[in-house]
Structure 1
């Protein structure tokens, strides 16, 4: 593979997937496992289980799910209609041993590494007798993909696909996620048709190299995409803060955004900023935003390619989290966890305003 990776055109038979359908159908239904029921993972697993049961025969095995907080798994079983569609696994090892395709959606690099070490131990104790595909959909730093590949590929018939997802919870809820895939070609082909249209709407094929940072390969591509979103959030936070401070009101800046732009993260996150709706349990938690921004900043150093908006956003995310931590010590916090849109608190504080309560700011009186 050359240092320059070209994103191929979509396959004409399915314009959202860059592969033809697998030529040989499976003699028996694939057993699918899912680890990680966070704000995105929960919706992905729900949609996958629902779609799977609607297009396959009744004897198709239910989706096997595992989450460290068991109550989330139990909630999902009830939502989809019982154990005919979803079963709850007792461990990560059970997923690795029983399932043919294992999908993970996890919080950060440390958790991802820990889980894949567990998978590897399970495979060592029970070597696969048929192909297994591990699909890692989290946002991770590119070099970790190489480590995960080493953990999985040392076992017979085992393949890793890095498949980071693009999309917020409302996008995941509607099964409109976008996937960027790296890894074994045949495995990507099979996983693509498993995920689209059940969970998402489009797949980018970014080659077979799982860790080469200089190539447009999945983990790097995901961080580049997230940098665009984070940059948009930072610009929006600064514009709303300036509009508020100058006396125009944040609503004026947000109305202008809606006039100028027709898509993107502005609407969802802009509304949260405008209304101080920083509930991280219903969006993208601030710890995840800080993790992603940290990965992006590592990339800027690796490639001598500055991204000032990401630097500013990272700083404002840290400020927001520090303010929230102080509130928790005082018992005055409003939310169980913060959403990444709370980065506007950093811009507000820098402007001498209250970080989380825009109602304390003076407003223009219209005559």
Structure 2
């Protein structure tokens, strides 16, 4: 293994049982999960002389699973007939799901399968969804009734494009030995680096919400800055160039470009529903910890505004986005300033200055 990979994984390789081919299952082939599963199937290093068995996948609707199978082939992917099959056949089960309610109901199915047929060897459940931290304890309680099971919370940072490129930042909390096994499967197959948040399962989800608060706060400030430029008669292109000069972080530049181009298509980004869910989690966390974060209140309102306007446009038969990206937060600032929510070009008119 290269020294760079050692730096990217904060653990030594598991000594026992040693490098071995594990059956891995993946549940949830949404915007992020599809690319994570594909890369896990195609990029995971072979272990010694063994060949990794095909990744076993399950999705609520079969179309995504069939598309993935067609893309990578039968030697890399098998489609499970049920969640129970995933639980019974797999050593490691990774979930990537839309929201807390779906995560909870999925783990109830996991627990039922484990109860019906208790495992005789170690199983690791890796939850990569963005969840409220206390849900981790509920999931652990569901699994802990069965022997030989461990839960890891494992949220990831990155957009679908980042997941496509296998450059996600992976956050891990939970049992140390399980984290060792998981990290060497996940890096570099789906992510560029793993960060250890300790054994408390709530820490990784909390860390993910902190990170998303930084991203969402940046989005809100960008949206307000571009809107001010519109009102002042300064083009989006000029404001975008300014962002590249003074705030050259890749993520910031990427979102600034989406706002500047009115590129609010959520089918190739992070859907606004997910942004609203994350903003709600962050606001709840700040309330419980008495750590005010006023920008999250504003961001939450502006995301809801964008979604409401998009729904209204659809109902009226006007051109609209099928799914909004969370960069559409700009709609909230624009409407408040009397501008078109999704068309910045209508605003770039030199203002008349009073004498």
Q: Which TM-score band applies after superposition, normalised by the shorter structure?
A: over 0.9
Relative distance call for 1:191 and 1:58 in structure 2 (3 A) is: closer
Q: 1:286–1:342: 8 Å Cα contact kept in structure 2? A: yes
Partner Cα separation in structure 2 for residue 37 and residue 84 of structure 1: 19
How many residue pairs end up in the alignment? 349
Q: 3-state DSSP class of the match of 2:44?
A: helix
Q: 1:249–1:364: 8 Å Cα contact kept in structure 2? A: no
Find 2:193's aligned residue among 197, 202, 218.
Answer: 202
Partner Cα separation in structure 1 for residue 31 and residue 4 of structure 2: 33
**Cα distance, 1:331 vs structure 2:** 2.4
Aligned match of 1:64: 56
Aligned match of 2:321: 335
The RMSD of aligned alpha carbons is 1.8
Question: Aligned pair 1:273/2:259, yes or no?
Answer: yes
Find 1:39's aligned residue among 26, 31, 35.
Answer: 31
Q: 1:223–1:292: 8 Å Cα contact kept in structure 2? A: yes
**Cα distance, 1:123 vs structure 2:** 0.6
Partner Cα separation in structure 2 for residue 328 and residue 346 of structure 1: 18
Structure 2: where are the runs of 5+ without partners?
none
Find 1:285's aligned residue among 239, 263, 271.
Answer: 271
TM-score by length of 1: 0.91
Partner Cα separation in structure 2 for residue 13 and residue 286 of structure 1: 34
Q: 1:289–1:317: 8 Å Cα contact kept in structure 2? A: yes
Question: Aligned pair 1:85/2:76, yes or no?
Answer: yes
Partner Cα separation in structure 2 for residue 205 and residue 138 of structure 1: 17
Find 2:131's aligned residue among 123, 140, 149.
Answer: 140
Q: 3-state DSSP class of the match of 2:142?
A: helix
Once the two structures are superposed, the pairs formed by residues 222-241 of structure 1 within 5 Å of their partners are 222-241=208-227
Q: 1:300–1:306: 8 Å Cα contact kept in structure 2? A: yes
**Cα distance, 1:232 vs structure 2:** 0.6
Once the two structures are superposed, the pairs formed by residues 307-326 of structure 1 within 5 Å of their partners are 307-326=293-312
Aligned match of 2:181: 190
Once the two structures are superposed, the pairs formed by residues 1-367 of structure 1 within 5 Å of their partners are 14-26=6-18, 28-52=20-44, 59-80=51-72, 82-211=73-202, 217-364=203-350
Q: 1:53–1:85: 8 Å Cα contact kept in structure 2? A: no
Aligned match of 1:8: none
Q: 3-state DSSP class of the match of 2:6?
A: coil
Q: 3-state DSSP class of the match of 1:134?
A: strand
Partner Cα separation in structure 2 for residue 148 and residue 275 of structure 1: 41
